[in-house]
Amino acid sequence: MAPLPIMVVAAALTFPVLGETSVDPEARVALLWPLVLAFGAGLFLAGLTDLTVWTAPLLVVGLVIALPALVRIVPQGTLTARRGLPAAAAAAFLLSVSFVAADAFLPLMIVEVNDRSLGEMGFVITAVTVAWSLGSWWQSRVAVRRSAASLTLQGVVMVIVGMLAAASGLLQWPLWITYVGWTVAGIGMGIAFPTIPLSVMNAASEGEEARELSATLLMDTLGVAVGAGLGGAAVAIAEAEGASLATGIAGAFAVGVVAALLLLPVARRLPTSRVTS
């Protein structure tokens, strides 16, 4: 609740001048549909957060409200991952869902399922952060010679392999496999994550880069929320059914793997122009 007053002040300062940000003085930034999307997504995520008799109605109503608004904001064909900019927006969503669904519950697995210390868990988080940075550094050096599709595919494959290796901690396998696996996933994210928006920037019309990139960034943010929500729902369902915590976290990892697998064919539809550094 603490940030809410700051958000209100920021909105009061920002909204009045949004219409002045366009190169076309007659153009106005429409706020209705983003606000409707935020409201619908909030209802949907609220339904995932707490499993009660209200869960199904919140999920349905949230989708009914959010999807029409989303369609009005993102490029036409985003929901079907049409080749080009729409596929980039869909790819950003799936990549964030994939990583966050598992990443949000990896610390819980290490501490609660494997009975390790918070310090050891912090080491894993630090390692994946450094690995992400190294992946991005390597991506920046080869992006000029590689297509966005090939780089994204390489990164996503590393995320899948790393996620499966990290999930071995649920089976009480040696925990170093989890640590190495999640480091590999971090490198994969460092490769794939910046490649998707770079492909959009390279393919965007001159002078329209920010507008066309905004849909990809929106889908990325939405993917973070949905990934965490679906992972949390898997843990909550397991608890409600009397299953173990490990079972619930396995469900969260399964969400991540499925989203990454769905991303593989979508990555091939990214803008075909080569990414520029």
Handedness of CA 146, 150, 156, 157 (dihedral sign): negative
pLDDT of residue 277: 39
Residue 275 lies in a domain: no
pLDDT of residue 276: 44
Residues 63 and 189 both lie in one domain: no
State how far the alpha carbon of 216 is from the alpha carbons of 145, 193, 226, in Å: 23, 11, 15
pLDDT of residue 12: 73
Mean pLDDT by 10 residues, the chain (277 residues): 65 66 53 85 84 85 93 91 94 97 95 91 92 96 92 97 96 92 97 95 77 89 93 90 94 97 96 55
Domain that holds residue 98: 78-267
Residues 132 and 228 both lie in one domain: yes
As a whole number of angstroms, the longest Cα–Cα distance in the chain is 62
Q: What is the DSSP letter of 274?
A: B
Residue 65 lies in a domain: yes
The number of distinct structural domains making up the chain is: 2
Residues 133 and 253 both lie in one domain: yes
- Please give the structure tokens belonging to residue 186: 């971090």
pLDDT of residue 275: 41
CATH number of the domain residue 82 falls in: 1.20.1250.20
Residues 69 and 191 both lie in one domain: no
Residues 28 and 83 both lie in one domain: no
